[in-house]
Structure 1
Amino acid sequence: MSAKIETEFGCAIPPASRHAITFHLPLWSNLLRFAALDPELLGRLKSPYPRMMLTTDVKDLAAAILKHIGAAEDQMLFIFPSPTSAVECKDFATDPKRGEIVVPPEEISIRVFDLQLRLYTVSFPAARYLTFYHFWLNAGTGISSRLAEECLDSINLLRQVIDDSVPPPKVELSPTHGQIQKRIASLLERAPVGPPREAKVSLEDVYLFQSGMAAIYGLHRYLLKKQNGGSVLFGYAFHSTPHVFDDFGPNFKLFALGNEQLDELETYLASETREGRKVQAIWTEFPTVPLITTPDLGRLRKLADKYRSLLIVDDTVGSFCNVDVLGVADIVVTSLTKSFSGYADVMAGSAVLNPSGSRYIELKSMFQELYRNDLANSDAVVLEHNSRDYLARSKILNSNTLRLVEYIQTKAADPTSTVSKVFYVTTSPSLPFYKERMRPATADFTPGYGCLFSFEFDTVDAMAAFYDNANVHIGPHLGAHLTIVQPYTKGTYGRDLAAVEPYGLRETQMRIAPGLENIELLLKDFEKGLVAADATRVKET
């Protein structure tokens, strides 16, 4: 077994840098409080996930700006690097769709400030925090922790911009942006699947964002501005994704069961077409979170072509190195925060246009008109450095994940075990659809099945025992250097479990994101938790 984990509650996994994006949540009792959004517990998280809660640097910068303007003590403030995000945050809060938590426009103030760069702030009464929090969480466009630190270092330069005609400070993009774009373009064209493409991805086809959700939100908003059509999400997805489609736009339809609902999807698309309502895009994850099922991209491509919808694929879990979805997708979106970065200390996302797609020219024009690169230079430098060993790390992540899956699958097949099911690409009936898009092996890399899986216990008691005894970090992330597990459904939907149960999400499911540790030690770390879980069944009898 590995050395006993000594990471304290609420702290980041080692090496716990200033801008780490993880936190460790030991003890099942803490998980229950976290799921219930216990404010006292949340307030003790020293290293929160940046979209989930404001980091220390972001909070300190907001406090400095509030002090600068002499704001009342009951005021809060969100900071954005983009004027569009500030305006959209206000629009979100004042939209009647917010229902009981809608905020009157007169309670919101947008201000502009200059330091070494221009910032845009949205201030509001602290009592209205919940409304604005939903935008911060799901849009993912807020200021990064690293950029906030830079601003704090030059806080003496802070001044409010009253005259809109005053030009902002000039900030040149770091060359590392281009290096990242070039790396992603190269990975997307590496060992392609299918016949030769008409055009290859260039770095100009790769658009960077400050988080994975910012890529999804930004692209969705661009399409709304151009088409104002409905959206389809095929297969269940990471929890913030459906919120973006539901909160913004006229019509959103979820086909949470994926391939089982292909015929229903076609019926829906035909109906919308007859009624004159355009479905601007079909979105899907490849594979999906958290049940790791793979959509039939071939069928989705045919439906998208037939009904003039875009097909947008999130390949974060499958990852560039393992799967090639560009041959069927119009746009590929990726959370670069995960395995591409790999060290849990920077947020970023990307959207890549398929230059061989039938609507490439249209999409290129849209990005040229609406896109703005808000990924901070300092974040880009870290991301570029982290991603240099992406292929080498991915080889280990693939291997460790498959070994763990095979081990836990033997438990699921054992009638005396409390493990009832394993969810992974290789254990799913949808495996053939993954293999269709799996890259061929090359001399330097053999593709695998990704770095995320889930498994299910018979009872909550068994899961709680595993939680308290497995020698692993517990928290919300994947693709990192160390293994992180999470009771995904319980922790994410703890107050609304009934709503997601029809989609196959259950509170007894544990999501596993293996890291780079020695696999033999890692197997022992899991065995410790599974033995404790199985002991709950002995007590029952």
Structure 2
Amino acid sequence: MLQALGGPVPPNTDHAVSVSLPSWRENVGYEEGEDWVISKMKCGYPRFFVHPIIQKLAQEIVRRVGDPNLESATLFPSLKSARICHSFLLSKIPAEKAYKARIVNFIPSLHTEAGSTVTSSLSCVIYPKEYASITKQVWQHSGNGISSRRGEFCLGALEDGFLVEDKGFATAESISQGPCKGPRRYQSVNGVRKGSVRESPPKSNTEDGRDYAQFIEERFGRNLSTSLANQAKLAVRKRIAGVLTADAELPEALETASSEGRVAGISEEDVLLYPSGMSAIYNAHQTLLATRGDLPSICFGFPYTDTLKILQKWGPGCVFYGHGSSEDLEDLESRLKAGERFLGLFTEAPGNPLLKAPDLKRIRALADQYGFAVVVDETISNFLNINVLHLADIVVSSLTKIFSGDSNVMGGSAVLNPHAQYYAALKETYNRDYEDTCWAEDAVFLERNSRDFISRIEQINATTEDITAMLKESPLGKLKEVHYPKYSPTRPLYDSLRNANGGYGGLFSVTFHSTAEAIAFFDTIEVLKGPSLGTNFTLSSPYVLLAHYGELDWARSFDVDPDLVRISVGLEDVHDLRSRVQRALDAVQSVRQPSA
């Protein structure tokens, strides 16, 4: 059952979303950046650890257009997303160093066939290596970077001459930025910066007699087709809208889609897809700024770490209510009555990792009265268990989690409420600014994985209720607390959102009376261990250590225990899973102090 340190989770998966960190000590070593852990990392959660394929592609890009000894590259699927990174980087480095950061664009070569065959552009932010920690923030927080499957495609296309540098872009970009100041080796000749264009052209695709269709077929099989990818994206959008529920092959499922969705009047046109859940959140925030102007936001409840970072680092900042309590809402209301105005309120239903539900009905009433948008992240419970769309302007979700389940593809979505106060204005902005950067092959995998998500969620709901009941009934004092919507003090708020057949989800957290007990439980429980949640297999992590290692005291100030262990329940047999949990509880008892 246990996967070795640094191996993919699930095992033997080239594009795994999680990575094995099987012991408490190894999680701490990972956070401390200790070589005995980092050197064994074959993969990682994609926004925190750049996949080896993408690392190799970035190195090849720098070899061709930069200085491998001095420079690095961060890769994006579009010029727009690259410019976001470039702009953020320039805002953090000395002005006199700005010339060292640049964007290099790669486009399909003239030999690439048009029509239904998939192609990809690639936009690369090139910068001195000492600035890597800055661009990593954009990669992590925005979720806009390329996926490993797109990276695999682009690396093959680059090597085979089907992806080439856009030298016309380099010229136009450097001219638009004005004269390039700095050392001569960075200055331009005819508007093109030295070091940004390789003199020798890439290998022609005709040298070995291969054409583009053959390149696609040999490297990627039949998963890369524009028509197939577009159908897959349509099916995913229909599922998220709630109008497609059939567990069937793609053509049949699309033909049998109903006209009734999550709320009256919704359609797939109100669903936007993104390469990750954080990208959906980042772009929801950007869309609100573009629609409503430069206003601060509200972060309500203890959030997933990158949501708060997005609101703090882009735009005019945010007011943070980390407890998400009724007292926090009283304070917010007093601010509003005093004349403060906000862009939007971002919250999770329920929150991560304490699984508390926000008072969305009261939030909605305040939003309507004082004119701010409501953005709800429903990732943990998902729309089959709860209905929050009618109380939100935008509902965001990480499709990487239970919607996919297989932990082998990233994805995200934003759903617009067609009855919300800002719907028309948001729709206009999305229609103008939205770009589809979801890679074709990722969409195909996401669609296939999600066909049976209804039945999977039903099973996971039932198993999780059984396991959490077992934990609640264990001898008094063995556990400090079980965090689960069913046992939360905010259960009435959760129940007010719950669908008729909805459950309480597949995620729960447990806390202990000492760090030693937490370590004993985590190290003993025989499940896969690593970041992420919503997987088809049970997955555990010392979540607070991983998400907030550098700010544990801050997390504790919001009642988030640093020794918390989070468990995402999968599709295993419930009796088997109960026995694994019991052995972990026995380990807790074995290290307990007599006075505890």
- TM exceeding 0.5: yes
Distance 1:197 1:57, change over 3 A: closer
| Higher normalized contact order (CA 8 Å, seq sep 6+, divided by chain length) | 1
Would the alpha carbon gap of residues 472 and 539 (structure 1) be closer, same or farther in structure 2, given more than 3 Å must change? farther
The Cα shift of 1:187 comes to 5.7
Shift of 1:104: 3.6
* CA 32–165 in structure 1, closer or farther in 2 if over 3 Å, else same: closer
Distance 1:500-1:310 versus aligned 2 partners, 3 A rule: same
Structure 1 residues 14 and 199: CA distance shift in structure 2, 3 A: closer
2:451 corresponds to: 388
Specify whether residues 379 and 535 from structure 1 end up closer, same or farther in structure 2 by C-alpha distance, changes over 3 A only.
same
In structure 2, C-alpha distance between the alignment counterparts of 1:166 and 1:207, rounded to whole Å: 33
Q: After superposition, where does 1:388-537 map in structure 2 within 5 Å?
A: 388-411=451-474, 414-415=476-477, 417=478, 419-441=479-501, 447-537=502-592
Residue identity in the other structure for 1:132: T
Which runs of 5 or more residues in structure 1 are unaligned? 191-195, 442-446
Cα 1:280–1:189 shift into 2, 3 Å: farther
Match of 1:67 in 2: 63
Q: CA deviation at 1:16?
A: 3.0
1:234 and 2:290 correspond: no
How far 1:188 moved relative to its partner?
A: 9.6
- Asked if 1:289 corresponds to 2:352, the answer is yes
Q: Say if 1:305 and 1:189 are closer, same or farther in 2 by CA, change over 3 A.
A: farther
What is the distance in 2 between the residues matched to 1:305 and 1:480? 37
Which shifted more, 297-306 or 64-73?
A: 64-73
Following TM superposition, by how much is the alpha carbon of 1:166 offset from its aligned partner in structure 2, in angstroms?
11
- The 8 Å contact of residues 454 and 510 in structure 1, kept in 2 or not, is answered as yes
Identity among equivalent positions (%) equals: 32
Q: Deviations over 1:453-499 (max 9, x none)?
A: 11101000111111221111111111101111111112222232111
The amino acid of 2:164's aligned partner reads R
Q: CA RMSD in A?
A: 2.4
Q: 1:188 to 1:166 in 2, by over 3 A?
A: farther
Q: Which has the larger radius of gyration?
A: 2
Q: 2:286 pairs with 201, 221, 232, which one?
A: 221
Report Cα offsets for 1:201-249 as digits up to 9, x if no partner.
Answer: 1111100000000000011112223311111011011111100000111
Q: 1:107 aligned to 2:107?
A: no
Structure 2, gaps ≥5 residues long = 109-118, 173-211, 213-224, 247-260
1:28-47 mapped onto 2 (5 Å cutoff): 28-47=24-43
**Cα distance in 1, alignment partners of residues 544 and 316 from structure 2:** 28
CA 1:140–1:103 in 2, change beyond 3 Å: closer, same or farther?
farther
- The structure-2 alpha-carbon separation of the partners of 1:103 and 1:430, relative to structure 1 and needing over 3 Å to count, comes to farther
Which residue does 1:118 correspond to in 2?
121
AA in 1 matched with 2:433: L
SS of 1:154's equivalent in the other structure is: helix
What is the alpha-carbon distance in structure 2 between the residues aligned to residue 283 and residue 14 of structure 1? 31
Cα–Cα, structure 1 residues 186 and 102, in superposed 2: closer, same or farther, change >3 Å? farther
Q: Report deviation, 1:94.
A: 2.4
- Counterpart CA distance in 2 for 1:40 and 1:538 is 32
| Contact 1:326/1:354 (<8 A) preserved | yes
TM-score scaled by length of structure 1: 0.91
- Hey, what does 1:444 align to over in structure 2? none
1:359 aligns with 2:355: no
**How much has 1:75 moved relative to structure 2?**
1.3
Aligned mates of 1:197, 1:381 — CA distance in 2: 23
Alignment of 1:370-381 (within 5 A): 370-381=433-444
CA distance in 2: counterparts of 1:216 and 1:30, whole angstroms: 30
Deviates more, 1:486-495 or 1:372-381: 486-495
Conserved? CA contact 1:103–1:128, under 8 Å: no
Residues 299-314 of structure 1: pairs in structure 2 closer than 5 A: 299-314=362-377
Number of residue pairs matched by the alignment: 516
In structure 2, what is the equivalent of residue 174 of structure 1? 230
What's the CA shift for 1:312? 1.0
CA distance in 1, matches of 2:66, 2:419: 54
Question: Are positions 1:54 and 2:47 aligned together?
Answer: no
1:163 partner SS: helix
Equivalent residue runs for 1:135-174 within 5 Å:
135-155=138-158, 156-157=160-161, 158-164=163-169, 174=230
Amino acid at match of 1:179: A
Residue 39 (structure 1) shift = 4.9
Amino acid at match of 1:69: V
User: How many angstroms apart in 1 are the aligned matches of 2:570 and 2:66?
Assistant: 47
SS in 1 for 2:480: strand
Determine if contact 1:425/1:449 at 8 Å carries over to the other structure: yes
Q: SS of the residue aligned with 1:497? A: helix
CA distance in 2, matches of 1:246, 1:342: 31
Q: What is aligned with 2:10?
A: 14
Counterparts in 2 of 1:15 and 1:26: CA distance versus 1, 3 Å: closer
Question: 2: distance between equivalents of 1:486 and 1:229?
Answer: 36
Distance 2:270 2:263 in 1: 14
Residues 118-151 of structure 1 show CA distances to partners (whole Å, capped at 9, x for unaligned) of 1100011222211111111111000000111111
Matched-pair contact (CA < 8 Å) for 2:262–2:389? no
Distance in 2 separating the partners of 1:480 and 1:74:
40
Residue aligned with 1:279, SS = coil
* Alpha-carbon distance in 2 for matches of 1:187, 1:44: 44
Cross-structure match for 1:193 = none
Contact in 2 for aligned 1:11/1:23 (Cα 8 Å): yes
Contact 1:185–1:206 at 8 Å: present in 2 too?
yes
- Contact (CA 8 Å) 2:2, 2:527: kept in 1 or not? no
Q: Is the 8 A contact 1:93 1:103 kept in 2?
A: no
- Deviations along 1:12-62, one digit per CA (max 9) or x if unpaired, are 233432111111112222122122233552242112111011101111111
Give the C-alpha shift of residue 539 in structure 1: 6.9
Return the alpha-carbon distance in structure 2 between the equivalents of residues 6 and 325 of structure 1: 37
1:215–1:103 Cα change, 3 Å: farther
For residue 102 of structure 1, report the CA deviation from its aligned partner.
Answer: 9.7
Checking the alignment, whether the CA contact within 8 Å between 1:27 and 1:468 is kept in structure 2 is yes
The alpha-carbon deviation at position 450 of structure 1 amounts to 0.8
Change (3 A) 1:235 1:43: same
- 2:334 is matched with which residue: 247, 260, 267? 267
Q: Is the 8 A contact 1:36 1:495 kept in 2?
A: no
Aligned to 1:164, what secondary structure does the other structure show? helix
> Which residue pairs with 2:324 in the alignment?
258
Give the equivalent residue in structure 2 for 1:183: 239
State the SS of the aligned residue for 2:592: helix
The answer on whether the counterparts of 2:2 and 2:526 sit within 8 Å (CA) in structure 1 is: no
Taking the aligned partners of 1:177 and 1:249, their CA distance within structure 2 comes to: 31
Q: Contact (CA 8 Å) 2:356, 2:488: kept in 1 or not?
A: yes
Tell me, in whole angstroms, the C-alpha distance in 1 between the residues paired with 2:407 and 2:107: 30
- Match for residue 267 of structure 2 among 202, 213, 224: 202
Q: 8 Å contact 1:188–1:201 — kept in the other structure?
A: no
Residue 188 of structure 1 contacts residue 320 of structure 1 at CA under 8 Å; is this kept in 2?
no
The structure-2 alpha-carbon separation of the partners of 1:74 and 1:486, relative to structure 1 and needing over 3 Å to count, comes to same
Partner amino acid, structure 2, of 1:143:
I
Cα displacement (A) at 1:507: 1.4
Separation of aligned partners in 2, 1:294 and 1:117: 41
* Aligned-pair CA distance for 1:315: 0.6
